[in-house]
Structure 1
Amino acid sequence: MTARKTTFAAAAFLLSGTALMAQDVTLTIESWRNDDISIWRNQIIPAFEAEYPGIKLDFQPTAPAQYNSALNSKLDAGTAGDIVTCRAFDASLALFQNGQLADLTELDGMANYSDVAKSAWSTDDGSQQFCVPMASVIHGFIYNADAFEELGLEEPETVDEFFAVLDAIAEDGSYIPMAMGVNDQWEAATMGYANIGPNYWNGEEGRNALIAGEAKLTDAEFVAPFEQLARWSDYLGRGFESQSYPDSQNLFTLGRAAIFPAGSWEIAGFRTQADFEMGAFPPPVQNAGDTCYISDHTDMGMGLNAASPHQEAGRTFLNWLGSSEFANLFANAVPGFFPLSNADVSLDDPLAQEFISWRGECESSIRPFHQILSRGTPNLSNESWGTSANVIRGGQTPEEAGAQMQEGLASWYEPQQ
């Protein structure tokens, strides 16, 4: 063999070896969902690797409370995994601004997501995306279907019908009409104000108007949800003022309360604890025929470590997250956490299917204060916890609550000054 042929043969061998190595990539996934280990390892990873046999996935979660600090330390040290599970809004935005998350704006799979879905992982002007939207939680009301049948009740569609149902349950006396306390405060804002509010401020229209400074928290559409919450106190049972979130969950799953203002994350737990049939209805609209709005809140995304040596493989995986295969696999494995892509999803759990069906009937929005409006002091999201709880317990009028929140926001947010 001539030297020339030897050189070509060696080059061919090296290229062949490089190709083989390129087909044998392992992507390490950073996540805080340590309760999902078995789902990833037994369902999601095998499905992906069957379709892309040259790419292996290694799911390595950190305990939720330590995730942010641990991830930041790894990224700073250059030891973080290839795929980063993204918290919503500012924490992930900061990583992108620091150059630690790759720009995914041009990723093909991004075409499968709405602007609302992408909002939690976009720059403030919406021009760049840095994480693929993965899962959301939807708010509404879960009810004891056996109790409704026993009392001859139907799912309410309007606010008047909602209170008529609550009155009927209270009059019968067999059940606490609605299980929610205000001791922990956050549930009053999350399953109260942010749940029913989008029907008053028209979802994204009102939320974006606040960000732009074109609406104020003292405007009627932002005070009205407080006015409804003030009426809830008559239906929450004795001692709701000191009732914790787990207390409320127990009241409902033990069959003592008929309705639970809920997030869809309750579905799996309620399934294991309740021995009665359950149903769900979206937040009632003000008048029959009104457009309905739901809080379809972005919860989790996935991004690409900008320092990963496996950029192409990482993008292949992130594109797969937008597929119908992943959407259906994830949604059925983790009922109550819903894929954010536009893929058609069919769920085995009828309660989860009910929640996700509202996307086809109502306009989706996210919790009103999570983007931009809670960066200062006082933090508007945290302010809403206290005001919502105070209004329900009668310690503050709806107007006073709106004025307090507006004053706090205007104290640091220039568009509201």
Structure 2
Amino acid sequence: MKSKFAQRTAITVSILLATGTMFTGCGNPAKSSQKVTLQVLNYKREAVDILEELAADFEKENPDIHIQLDSPSDATNILKTRLVKEDPPDIAMIGGDRAYADFVDADIMVDLSDYAGLDKVQDVYLTMAKQLELRQKEGQYCVPFASNAAGVLYNRDMFKENGWEIPQTWNEFMSLCQTIRDSGTTPFYFMLKDSWTGITPWNALAANLTTPDIYTEVSLGDTTFTENYASSAHKMDELLEFSQSDPFAYGYNDGCTAFGNGESAMLLQGNWAIPQILSANPDINIGAFTLPVSDQAGETLLVSGIDFCFTVMRDENLEACEKFMDFMLRDENAARYYENQNAVACLKGDFEVPQSLSEMASYWEDGKVIDFPDHHYPAELPAADMLQGYLMNKDLDTFLNKFDNEWQKTNRDLIAILKEERNN
């Protein structure tokens, strides 16, 4: 494997730009006679208990290695701060999103191309990790471990009692929504008081109605979001027609509770919402299906992203890092994590899809998945707020123009580099 701790590039997030130095030599390199301490930064606070259990079991097998697990409330910013202080953790367990892409582009992660554990990862998630990169680089910089999925959560018992079928096309879906409303039941409970909740159905629409290359193409000026996002916006309007009254007055907790209590037949969210719903009604029988964006059955892809991956930030303790990742990638240990977190495997193997997501299983089996568009949006781009404003005001031109303008503003350094590289 190659260590890639080179000087920061101009497109790195501002907090990383403050340094421009090398990370090699940081920390306390372990001598062969000493116990190695691996500093592991974890961004999934909800997984602390199971990760601590697994770390303890690893230490029993490897008494010469201690896992120092740190799970701060704002792990991404903590990681940036540690990088500025030239004190990176050995391993960062983070999500596959724009922050990951920024770290890769800044050359601060170890190239894991030679790590044998990559053979256990499904190809679709290895490809997804490469597609996240702002500029294509040689190498593989993360080990995807767990994924999540967005779509339509539905009340299985309510569907069964009424004879409602899972739709396969957009027209069938709209017809189902009308049938549900005609029966006196609210099809969806929208939660747009919290703007981020609107991004979930948006992701399903935008992912399927554009291509994974759109972000680079827009940056290079080959197309615009105005040209590509209008159809997604129109379909968001159609979905909103089947919401409860005043969808902007209710937030995420309200919607999860309402759906749990049977006030709507469906909820446009992902598997992360299931624990919240069950806290309102432990007896609800929740299912999930892919939002059928296409008018042709079987053409829609499931929106599923890398929820949790392993990255190595320095290579002084590389052998110990590999041992820890090997341990986590063992079938029995990975299965413990997936079951505990109601997560879906990024790994190959006979892992059960959570029962509540069983209707989606064939999409993972066939590799018919596509990443969340908002994983490619910079944190500074207020996509959720812009979408909320559009749904409230119905001003499509303003929404699309603002999306293009905000993209140009928040990616200006990247855009300049991409255009320079193409011209050269």
* 1:165 and 2:164 are equivalent in the alignment: no
Cα 1:57/1:351, change in 2 over 3 Å: farther
Which amino acid counterpart does residue 313 of structure 2 have in structure 1? N
* 1:110 and 2:115 are equivalent in the alignment: no
* 1:60 and 2:69 are equivalent in the alignment: yes
| Match 1:232 to one of 235, 239, 252 | 239
Cα 1:92/1:196, change in 2 over 3 Å: closer
Which amino acid counterpart does residue 385 of structure 2 have in structure 1? G
Q: Residue by residue, what CA displacement relative to the aligned partner does 1:368-401 show, whole Å, maximum 9, x if unpaired?
A: 2433x537xxx44x2x3133223433x1244543
**Separation in 2 of the partners of 1:315 and 1:80?**
17
Q: C-alpha displacement at 1:141, in angstroms?
A: 0.5
**Separation in 2 of the partners of 1:95 and 1:243?**
36
Which amino acid counterpart does residue 404 of structure 1 have in structure 2? K
Q: Cα RMSD over matched residues?
A: 3.2
**Separation in 2 of the partners of 1:298 and 1:325?**
20
Gaps of 5+ in 2: 1-30, 420-424
Q: C-alpha displacement at 1:93, in angstroms?
A: 4.9
TM-score, normalised by the number of residues in structure 2: 0.78
Q: C-alpha displacement at 1:364, in angstroms?
A: 1.9
**Separation in 1 of the partners of 2:38 and 2:333?**
17
Alignment-derived partner of residue 144 in structure 1: 155
Q: C-alpha displacement at 1:350, in angstroms?
A: 0.7
Alignment-derived partner of residue 193 in structure 1: 202
Q: Residue by residue, what CA displacement relative to the aligned partner does 1:287-316 show, whole Å, maximum 9, x if unpaired?
A: 2334221221223322223164x2211122
Q: Counterparts in 2 of 1:192-341, with a 5 A limit?
A: 192-202=201-211, 204=212, 206=214, 209-210=217-218, 213-219=221-227, 221-274=228-281, 275-306=283-314, 308=316, 310-335=317-342, 337-341=343-347
Which structure has the larger Rg? 1
Kept after mapping to 2: 8 A contact 1:188/1:385: yes
**Separation in 1 of the partners of 2:175 and 2:167?**
8
Kept after mapping to 1: 8 A contact 2:40/2:93: yes
**Separation in 2 of the partners of 1:156 and 1:237?**
21
Moved over 6 A (4+): none
Q: Residue by residue, what CA displacement relative to the aligned partner does 1:100-119 show, whole Å, maximum 9, x if unpaired?
A: 53222322223434333423
Q: C-alpha displacement at 1:85, in angstroms?
A: 1.9
**Separation in 2 of the partners of 1:357 and 1:209?**
31
Which amino acid counterpart does residue 312 of structure 1 have in structure 2? E
Q: Residue by residue, what CA displacement relative to the aligned partner does 1:24-76 show, whole Å, maximum 9, x if unpaired?
A: 6443322133332321233x2355457x54554525223323x3344444455
Gaps of 5+ in 1: 1-17
Which amino acid counterpart does residue 218 of structure 1 have in structure 2? T
1:265 counterpart SS class: helix
Cα 1:160/1:98, change in 2 over 3 Å: closer
* 1:101 and 2:122 are equivalent in the alignment: no
Cα 1:311/1:261, change in 2 over 3 Å: same
**Separation in 2 of the partners of 1:163 and 1:194?**
18
